[in-house]
Structure 1
Amino acid sequence: MLKQFFIICSGSDTDILDKCSTGEQNKYAGIGATVFFTAIMAFIAASYALYTVFDNLFIAIAFGFIWGLLIFNLDRYIVSTIKKTGSITDELIQASPRIILAVIIAIVISKPLELKIFEKEINQVLLEQKNELTLANKNQIAEQFTPTIESLNNNITALRQQINTKETEVNALYDTYIAEAEGTAGTKLLGKGPVYKEKREKHDALLAELQQLKAENKAKITAAETQIATLKGDYETQIVSTQPIINNFDGLMARVNALGKLPWLPSFFIFLLFLAIETSPILAKLLSPKSAYDFRLEDQETAIKTNVLQNKNQREALLKTDHAINDRIYNDIEKEDELYTYKRKKVRELMQLQADAFFKHQKNAF
């Protein structure tokens, strides 16, 4: 039962193969088994690849099953259409497009399985890429806020500097009028004279300006600090909202690119393995000598071809003969007076009817 199933998978003619030896049947059963298990590997590979795309097991299995059937049908077609002609050159020319197709199928099958085999290494590469993307994302978002924040900080620094400068001036005036009162500077007269009062009034006026400046600048500093806090909050919000996009950076294309960053030799050998599996039925047919199945198949095809050619030639000869007979018949009839007289009579009657109809039509017009 299993042997018969694999023979069907090989695409061979079961009626012809039943008349061949057991060894011949086993050869085609082996070819069919290769085709079948290649389709199984294609199903697994496609299911895994589509699972990384859709994140849904049932959808991945459904599409993977369809893909497996497609690969099975292609492989079966490739193997069944290779005919043994006895000429190596003709067979190679015949097999070359099928070998190219087999190479493409091997690449398509092997790549998703490589992604699964090297999954841990790929995850490490993706982690490094995600970290780089996270830092780059933070820097790009910071570029939107940093200039404004720096400008606000500079304004705060300038406002505080104004206060400090004013305080320095007030303190200097304070030291001046105190020294005047003590008689250690200025007029050097002890006591609170007119000069002292003048310097004290100047100090008090500047102190009032300082208090007003402190109040105004404090309000400005508070507003700037509030704006900075808002900007920092917006920055953190954007970081949090964009981080899931980076965290989900593990799709099929990202994994394929990450696989390309790994050493190429292991991946190349896996591809060679699947290429050998995919092309083995074709190579087996090319390398094997012309067997009983090939002779029987050729005999059946040539018999049909001969029969078709015979039927075609007979139809052409029949048509040619029929034309010749018809020509002779019409040539003989052409010389008969009886047929001429009869046809002349009928033509006369037809022309009379046409004349009557024309006259009737003209009469009705008036």
Structure 2
Amino acid sequence: MLQQFFILCSGADSNILKTCSKGEQNKYAGIGATVFFTAVMAFIASAYALFTVFENVYTSIFFGLIWGLLIFNLDRFIVSTIKKTNSFKSEFLQATPRIILAVIIAIVISKPLEMKIFEKEINQVLLEEKNTMTLANKEQIATQYTPKIEKLNSDISSLKNEIVGKEAETNALYDTYISEAEGTAGTKLLGKGPVYKEKRDKHDAALAELQSLKQTNAEKITALETQIAALDLEYADQITTTQPIINSFDGLMARINALDKLPWMPSFFIFLLFLAIETSPIIAKLLSPKGSYDYKLEDEESAIRTWVTQKVSQREKVLETDTLLNNKIYGEIAEEEEIYNYKKQKAEELLKLQANAFHEVQVKSL
């Protein structure tokens, strides 16, 4: 039962194979098994590749099954259409397009399985790329907010420096009138005289201005800090909004690019493995000697070809003979007087009818 299934997979004529030896049947069963398991691996590879795109098991299995059946049909067609001849060069020439197609199929099949085999290494590469993208994204978004925040911080520093300058001025006036009262500066007279009162008034006026300036600048600083907090919040929202896009950067193309960044030798040998599997049925047919199945198949095809050629030749002879007979018959008829007179009579009647019809039309138009 299993052998018959694999023979069916090989594309060989089971009726002819039944008349061949067991060795011949086993050979084609082995070729069919290779075709079948190649299709199975194509199904697994495509299902995994599609899962990285759709992230849905049932969708991936459905389309993977279609792809596996397509590869199965292609491989079966490739193997079944290679005919054994007595010339290796002729066999190789007819197999060349099929080998090229096998190489393409091997590439398509091996790439998703490579991604699965090297999944951990690919995840590491993607993690590094995501971290780099995250930092770059933060820097890019920061360029939109940093100048504004720096301008606001500069304004706050200016307001604070203005308060510090006013405080220094007020403290200097305080030292002046205290020194005047102690007699260590100014008039150098001990006590609180008119000069002391004047300097005290200046200090009190400066102190009032300082208090007013502190209150005014404090309100301005609070407003500026509120703007900075709003910009920080907006910056954080931008980071939060764009980060999921970076986190989802693990699709099929991203994984293929990550795979290309890994050492090429392991991937190359996996490709060679699938290439060997994919081309093995073709190579087996090319290298195997011409067996009884090939002779019987050639005999059956040549019999049909001869029969078709014979039928075509017979039809051509019939046509040629029929043409000659028709020419001779009609040539003899053309020479008979009775036929000539009859056709002349009918032609005259037709001409009279046409003339009468034309006359009636002309009369009606007047």
TM-score by length of 2: 0.96
Q: 1:138-159 CA deviation, whole Å, 9 max, x = no partner?
A: 2222222111111111111111
2:274 aligns with 274
Between the aligned partners of 2:269 and 2:160, the Cα distance in structure 1 is 70
Distance 2:260 2:344 in 1: 93
Superposed counterparts of 1:138-287, under 5 Å: 138-287=138-287
Residue aligning to 1:301: 301
2:311 matched to which residue of 1? 311
The Cα shift of 1:208 comes to: 2.1
Greater alpha carbon shift after TM alignment, 5-14 vs 328-337? 328-337
Deviating above 4 A after TM superposition, structure 1's stretches of 4 or more consecutive aligned residues are none
User: 2:320 — aligned with what?
Assistant: 320
- Whether 2:106 is the aligned partner of 1:106: answer yes
The within-5 A match list for 1:6-85 is 6-85=6-85
Q: Distance in 2 between matches of 1:225 and 1:119?
A: 48
**Aligned equivalents of 1:153 and 1:185: distance in 2?**
41
Corresponding residue number in structure 1 for 2:115: 115
How much does 1:8 deviate? Answer: 0.5
SS where residue 104 of structure 2 aligns? helix
SS at match of 1:83: coil
Q: Report how far residue 39 of structure 1 moved.
A: 0.6
Q: Deviations over 1:39-85 (max 9, x none)?
A: 11111111111111111111111111111101100100110111112
SS of structure 1 residue aligned to 2:25: helix
CA distance in 1, matches of 2:349, 2:141: 102
2:98 is paired with a residue of what secondary structure?
helix
Q: CA deviation at 1:330?
A: 2.1
Measure the CA separation in 2 of the matches of 1:169 and 1:359.
Answer: 132
Alignment size in residue pairs = 366
Distance in 1, Cα, partners of 2:110 & 2:358: 86
Cα distance in 2 for partners of 1:361, 1:261 equals: 91
Structure 1 residue 317: Cα displacement: 2.1
**What amino acid does structure 2 have at the position aligned with 1:225?**
E
Measured after TM superposition, the shift of residue 361 of structure 1 is 2.7
User: Deviation digits for residues 268-315 of structure 1, max 9, x if unmatched?
Assistant: 111111111110000000011111111111122222222222222222
SS of the equivalent of 2:226 reads helix
Cα distance in 1 for residues equivalent to 2:358 and 2:94: 73
Name the CA distance, whole Å, in 2 between partners of 1:253 and 1:21. 50
Structure 1 window deviating more from structure 2 (29-38 vs 228-237): it is 228-237
Counterpart amino acid of 2:33?
A
Whole-angstrom distance in 2 between the partners of 1:340 and 1:120: 98
Which amino acid in the other structure matches residue 205 of structure 1?
A: A
> How far 1:360 moved relative to its partner?
2.7
CA distance in 2, matches of 1:355, 1:255: 88
Structure 2 residues not aligned, in runs of 5+: none
Amino acid at match of 2:324: A
Q: What RMSD, in angstroms, separates the aligned Cα atoms of the two structures? A: 1.4
Question: Structure 1 length as normaliser, TM-score?
Answer: 0.96
SS in 1 for 2:190: coil
Give, in whole Å, the separation in 2 of the partners of 1:196 and 1:120: 84
Instruction: Report deviation, 1:363.
Output: 3.3
Q: Which amino acid aligns with 1:163?
A: I
Question: Structure 1 residue 220: deviation in Å?
Answer: 0.7
Identity of aligned residues (%): 70
Could you tell me which runs of 5 or more consecutive residues in structure 1 were left unpaired when the two chains were aligned.
none
CA distance in 1, matches of 2:293, 2:285: 12
* Worse-superposed segment, 17-26 or 126-135: 126-135
Deviates more, 1:10-19 or 1:22-31: 10-19
The structural deviation recorded for 1:234 is 1.5
Give the distance between the partners of 2:103 and 2:29, measured in 1 at CA: 23
SS in 2 for 1:86: coil
Q: 2:144, 2:14 → 1: CA distance?
A: 73
1:286-365 matched pairs, under 5 angstroms: 286-365=286-365
Alignment partner of 2:93: what SS? helix
2 CA distance for matches of 1:356 and 1:259?
92
Alpha-carbon distance in structure 2 between the residues aligned to 1:249 and 1:337: 96
Structure 1, residues 308-333: CA drift from partner, whole Å, max 9, x if none? 22222222222222222222222222
| Cα distance in 1, alignment partners of residues 334 and 58 from structure 2 | 81
For 1:18 and 1:267, locate their aligned partners in 2 and report how far apart those are by CA, in whole Å: 42
Question: What is the rounded CA distance, in whole Å, between the counterparts of 1:194 and 1:92 in structure 2?
Answer: 123
SS in 2 for 1:313: helix
